[in-house]
């Protein structure tokens, strides 16, 4: 039979045309598909606040949050007996939004990590001044902490802040393909989304961005416990953090009365077992004036100046970083006046809590927290 090429070999130009159309359609489909994945990732980040692969739980947005009108959170961890324990015992009252515990710890969520309020701008400006004037006291980082600091910074700037507080922080992609920045809508500044080469500079950026202090602990080289390798602490309570650098958890807490007997073992165990994705909070209380008293220091009775004295509460958080496995200990410092506490009707509770420092399982706290110095005078005012 004669072979008819007209039917078996299609003409060259239409075939070429078909191939080109097929390839360009495939390319178009591929582009649309990639864009869809991109869009899904972005919208997932915006709606759930988690970028795939960062290992953190999703962050819920506070869409209407207005920092200017938000009063500082009121934490009133006053207990008639001060017991040093890691237990999860709840506070005896929860009138306020932040139901808390005293020495014990409480499980919470990623959402609560950073709390904003109307003091934000004043506080970050003060923090920046402190970091400039007292750099070596408030900032430090060993090279070994870089990956942990970078991991936390990129998540905070790239995910947490713009998701949780979209009216304060926005990710801006400048035209011309330049890298995105975090715009602080309160200060009008743009902040790089990438960490600095030096971890100390990344900590400086972090310290001037939110009103929280951060301490980074990495697993100790000998595999026993965790060691402090970097920090930005503008408001440490009665200790010099730079003196604690490169110390293990138990050595950091050496001046804390009864720490060795009551807390050391359980805290080391707790830290070793803490899994990424869990967030732990704790509140600690006071001092009304001055700092701590350490062994050997003298007690002198002080008259509390009601106008100047402050009840100090730290809203503390603990979590483990998903990638580097370092532990981040962070805290926001809240200050309340004695008249404020009294007007709320907590005068007697606070007076009992001052005595309670003597009545629990670690009576040395009455001395350590300087209640021996200012307690009598503060109680007289609170109960008057
Ligand atoms: C669940 C975790 C923790 C618990 C239960 C705990 C417990 C305590 C307690 C009871 C005190 C005495 C003052 C107070 O009432 O707060 C204290 C002080 C202190 N803690 Fe912790 N702590 C924890 C985590 C950490 C971490 C991760 C660091 C990181 C460096 C740290 C650093 C300090 C320092 C520097 C002091 C002051 C010590 C001094 O007076 O020199 N704590 N801690």
The Å distance, Cα 193 to ligand 1 centre, comes to: 31
Q: Could you read off the pLDDT of 154-173 as tens digits, one per residue?
A: 999 999 999 999 999 999 99
The Å distance, Cα 253 to ligand 1 centre, comes to: 6
pLDDT at 247: 98
Residue 104 pLDDT exceeds 90: no
Render the burial of 196-232: b for 16+ CB within 10 Å, e for the rest: beebbebbbbbbbbbbbbbbbbbbeeeeebbbbbbbb
Closest-CA residue, ligand 1 atom 22, reads 253
Helical H segments across the chain, by residue range: 5-8, 12-48, 120-133, 135-138, 146-155, 161-164, 199-207, 249-252, 259, 265-273, 338-343, 347-359, 365-368, 371-382
Closest-CA residue, ligand 1 atom 40, reads 255
- Has residue 174 been placed in a domain? no
Q: Is 373 exposed, middle or buried, given 0-12, 13-18 or 19+ CB atoms closer than 10 A?
A: buried
- Has residue 57 been placed in a domain? no
Distance CA 49, CA 60 (A): 6
pLDDT at 277: 95
The Å distance, Cα 219 to ligand 1 centre, comes to: 17
Residue 91 pLDDT exceeds 50: no
- Has residue 183 been placed in a domain? no
pLDDT at 7: 45
pLDDT: is 50 or 89 the higher one? 50
Q: Could you read off the pLDDT of 225-238 as tens digits, one per residue?
A: 999 999 999 999 88
In this structure, what DSSP letter does residue 275 have?
Answer: P
pLDDT at 37: 43
Closest to 85 in 3D by CA, of 99, 70, 67, 105: 105
What 3 state SS string does 173-229 have? Answer: CCCCCCCCEEEECCCCEEEECCCCCCHHHHHHHHHCCCCCEEEEEEECCCCCCEEEE
pLDDT at 92: 26
Helical H segments across 261-337, by residue range: 265-273
Residue 1 pLDDT exceeds 70: no
Closest-CA residue, ligand 1 atom 25, reads 329
pLDDT at 129: 98
pTM exceeds cut of 0.75: yes
The Å distance, Cα 183 to ligand 1 centre, comes to: 34
Q: How confident is the model at residue 376 (pLDDT cuts 50, 70, 90)?
A: confident
pLDDT: is 177 or 20 the higher one? 177
Q: Could you read off the pLDDT of 306-344 as tens digits, one per residue?
A: 888 888 899 999 999 999 999 999 999 999 999 999 999
Within 6 A (CB) of ligand 1 lie 84, 86, 103, 105, 215, 217, 228, 238-239, 244, 252-253, 255-256, 267, 282, 284, 292, 318, 329
From 34-43, 44-53, 80-89, 237-246, the region with the lowest mean pLDDT: 34-43
- Has residue 83 been placed in a domain? yes
Kindly report the average pLDDT of the chain as a whole number: 83
Q: How confident is the model at residue 150 (pLDDT cuts 50, 70, 90)?
A: very high
pLDDT at 34: 46
**Is residue 107 within a helix (H) or strand (E), and if so which, with residue range?**
strand 106-108
Count the neighbouring beta carbons within 10 Å of the beta carbon of residue 24.
10
- Has residue 112 been placed in a domain? yes
pLDDT at 43: 44
pLDDT at 100: 31
Q: Could you read off the pLDDT of 110-119 as tens digits, one per residue?
A: 999 999 999 9
Count the neighbouring beta carbons within 10 Å of the beta carbon of residue 89.
15
Closest-CA residue, ligand 1 atom 7, reads 103
pLDDT at 284: 80
pLDDT: is 81 or 45 the higher one? 81
Residue 267 pLDDT exceeds 60: yes
Q: How confident is the model at residue 94 (pLDDT cuts 50, 70, 90)?
A: very low
The Å distance, Cα 370 to ligand 1 centre, comes to: 16
Closest-CA residue, ligand 1 atom 12, reads 256
- Has residue 86 been placed in a domain? yes
User: How many domains does the chain contain in total?
Assistant: 1
Q: How confident is the model at residue 61 (pLDDT cuts 50, 70, 90)?
A: very high
Q: Is 174 exposed, middle or buried, given 0-12, 13-18 or 19+ CB atoms closer than 10 A?
A: exposed
Atom from ligand 1 closest to the CA of residue 282:
1
pLDDT at 145: 98
Q: Could you read off the pLDDT of 2-43 as tens digits, one per residue?
A: 444 444 555 666 666 666 677 767 766 655 554 444 444 444
Looking at the DSSP bridge assignments, the partners of residue 178 are: none
pLDDT at 174: 82
By residue range, what is the domain housing residue 244?
72-116+133-142+211-382
From 71-80, 197-206, 251-260, the region with the lowest mean pLDDT: 71-80
Please choose from 252, 363, 367 the residue to mutate so as to test ligand 1's pocket, defined by most ligand atoms within 8 A of CB: 252
Contact 238, 146 (CB under 8 A): no
pLDDT at 88: 42
Please choose from 242, 253, 368 the residue to mutate so as to test ligand 1's pocket, defined by most ligand atoms within 8 A of CB: 253
- Has residue 10 been placed in a domain? no
The Å distance, Cα 84 to ligand 1 centre, comes to: 11
The Å distance, Cα 11 to ligand 1 centre, comes to: 83
């Amino acid at each position: 039979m004669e072979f008819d090429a007209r039917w078996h070999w299609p003409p060259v130009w239409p075939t070429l045309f078909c191939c080109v159309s097929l390839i360009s359609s495939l390319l178009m489909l591929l582009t649309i598909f990639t864009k869809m994945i991109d869009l899904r990732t972005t919208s997932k980040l915006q709606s759930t606040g988690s970028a795939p692969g960062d290992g953190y739980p999703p962050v819920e947005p506070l869409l209407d949050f207005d920092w200017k009108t938000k009063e500082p959170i009121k934490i009133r961890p006053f207990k008639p007996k001060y017991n040093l324990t890691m237990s999860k015992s709840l506070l005896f009252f929860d009138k306020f939004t932040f139901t808390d515990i005293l020495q014990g710890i409480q499980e919470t969520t990623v959402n609560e990590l950073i709390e904003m309020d109307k003091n934000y701008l004043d506080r970050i400006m003060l923090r920046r001044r402190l970091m400039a004037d007292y750099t070596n006291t408030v900032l430090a980082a060993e090279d070994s902490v870089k990956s942990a600091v970078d991991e936390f910074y990129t998540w905070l700037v790239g995910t947490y802040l713009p998701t949780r507080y979209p009216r304060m922080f926005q990710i801006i992609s400048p035209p011309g393909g330049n890298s995105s920045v975090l715009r602080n809508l309160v200060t009008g500044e743009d902040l790089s989304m990438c960490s600095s080469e030096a971890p100390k500079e990344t900590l400086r950026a972090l310290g001037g961005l939110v009103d929280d202090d951060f301490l980074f602990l990495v697993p100790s080289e000998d595999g026993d416990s965790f060691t402090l390798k970097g920090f930005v602490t503008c408001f440490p309570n009665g200790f010099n953090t730079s003196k604690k650098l490169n110390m293990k958890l138990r050595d950091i807490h050496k001046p804390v009365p009864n720490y060795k007997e009551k807390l050391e073992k359980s805290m080391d165990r707790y830290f070793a077992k803490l899994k990424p994705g869990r967030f732990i909070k704790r509140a600690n209380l006071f001092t009304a004036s001055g700092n701590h008293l350490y062994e050997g220091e003298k007690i002198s009775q002080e008259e509390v100046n009601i106008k100047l004295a402050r009840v100090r509460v730290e809203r503390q958080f603990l979590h483990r970083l998903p990638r580097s496995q370092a532990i981040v200990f962070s805290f926001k410092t809240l200050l309340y006046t004695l008249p404020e506490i009294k007007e709320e009707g907590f005068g007697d509770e606070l007076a009992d809590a001052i005595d309670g420092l003597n009545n629990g399982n670690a009576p040395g706290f009455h001395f350590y927290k300087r209640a021996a110095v200012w307690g009598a005078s503060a109680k007289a005012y609170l109960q008057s």
